[in-house]
Amino acid sequence: MKLFNKKPAADQPTEAQKAGQARVLKNGAYAAILTAVVLAAVILVNLVMRALPTKYTEFDISTTGMFTLSDTTLNLLHSLDKDVTAYYLGENGNEDENITRLLDRYAGESSHFHWEQRDPVLYPTFAQQYNAENASASSIILVCGEKSAVLQYNSDLYQIDYSSYYTTGYASYDFAAESALTSGIARLTNDSSFVLYQLTGHGETELSSDFVDTLENSSVTVESLNLLSAGSIPEDASALLINTPQVDYTADNIETLRSYLQNGGRLLVTTALTYDTPNLDGLMGEYGMSRQTGLLVESNPNYYAGYYGPAYLLPVISSNDITADMTDGLLVLAPIAQGIVSQDSTDTLTHTTLLATSSSAAALQDYANATSFTPADTDPTGTFDIAVATEDSETGARIIWAGCPDLFLSAADQLVSGGNSQLLGCMVNWLTGSESGVVVDAKSLSAQSLTVPATAVIGFGLLFVIVLPVLCIITGVVIFILRRRR
């Protein structure tokens, strides 16, 4: 009889091993759950960050604030009540990041503005429906209802100024996309239209294109009017402009203007101290305004353009409803000006100062024979108004008189980065009663090189080539010796 030994059972895990395996499984489960939670959180954060406006997720660190929207743009976007779509005509993969970033900023400020990209290769006939067949790559088509506007890449969104090229050898490159976008949106969403007639026939200065463009951005059309040939003021005239006449207006002209104002007309006048216009001055006198004799000069260097002299005034811009839309910090240049004196001749007239000198100004009486800008003891001194707005509450007439012949010249406007043209827009808006116009400064792309003096170069060279390396070596040796002694 064979005896068979019983086969021993397989080793069974002990209680300690079972507890260890349970802990491993439990920790693994916790790790898996934690990983899933972290992954879900990361995805959620990314989705939230993508949904946030770019102003919260991207910071503008450019020296000129290229992507920081101006107050003018923000006010326009926040008050926008019509849907505006911007179609960016850029090829996929070759987008201009400056433009797309700016469009993101616009979209983040208003739910009524959004933008889409249309690749001309994929949508070759897209621009035709907006009569924009000639739009260049990276241009923008703005659409609001049935209205549309094309912003060309090389003329509207980017601008090149060659004015200093022949003296410096360099051209100025400006990023003007915000100005173009904001002005375009304002034109498309403004339902009102106005006509400003600039009078001719008396040697008046015609507005240049930059000032006309500013007014068009406020839906103001500029037309010319000769009172002698026309015989009357057109019924569609929202306002009139008399810009520095060299010859006085006739009695018949003045009577036409007087009748226009008595029926609630609106008039903007600039005059020069070198041209006498007694008939026109008499009409202004009926509304409580007159000229201050003499050439205005400043003794405070903060209120005149130092390179050009004390007669090229940088006046104080008064804070009121008329100038409320002026960009903070923007200057206005008023060269070769004279003061405007205002006084209430009737209870219905209200005068508002728009531009004024500092308290240290003077009115040179004998300016034609003066050899310096130092005022004589007999010259009036103090604060002088340069531009005054007057409103007649009885008739509704509104008048602005500026005693500066070059206030609306391009040369003056360029020296203050568009301050004068923005002032004109504010003036005409008040005269016509229209909504605020928009003028946004272009952002310069011309980087200024950093010039380091020769003495500084030598000092920095010694510091980084000799002093700092020697200090590092000495520090290393000291640390080595101290550790060896331990």
Domains annotated for the chain, with CATH where assigned, are: 46-191 (3.40.30.10), 192-433 (3.40.50.880)
Which range among 222-236, 253-267, 364-378, 447-461 shows the weakest confidence by mean pLDDT? 447-461
Rounded Cα distance between 175 and 443, Å, is 5
pLDDT at 458 over 80: no
pLDDT band at 83 (very low <50, low <70, confident <90, very high): very high
What number is the average pLDDT over the span 195-211? 93
pLDDT tens column, 213-231: 888 877 889 999 999 889 8
Q: Are 219 and 112 in contact (CB under 8 A)?
A: no
State the pLDDT at residue 49.
60
pLDDT band at 447 (very low <50, low <70, confident <90, very high): very low
Q: What are phi and psi of 200, to 5 degrees?
A: -130, 170
State the pLDDT at residue 316.
96
pLDDT at 366 over 90: yes
Distances in Å between the Cα of 244 and the Cα atoms of 61, 309, 333, 402, 405 are 44, 22, 16, 10, 5
Q: Which residue has the tokens 């009357």?
A: 232
What number is the average pLDDT over the span 283-294? 96
Closest residue by Cα to residue 246 from 277, 281, 280: 277
What number is the average pLDDT over the span 27-41? 77
pLDDT at 400 over 90: yes
State the pLDDT at residue 199.
97
What number is the average pLDDT over the span 252-259? 96
What number is the average pLDDT over the span 257-267? 97
Rounded Cα distance between 255 and 276, Å, is 19
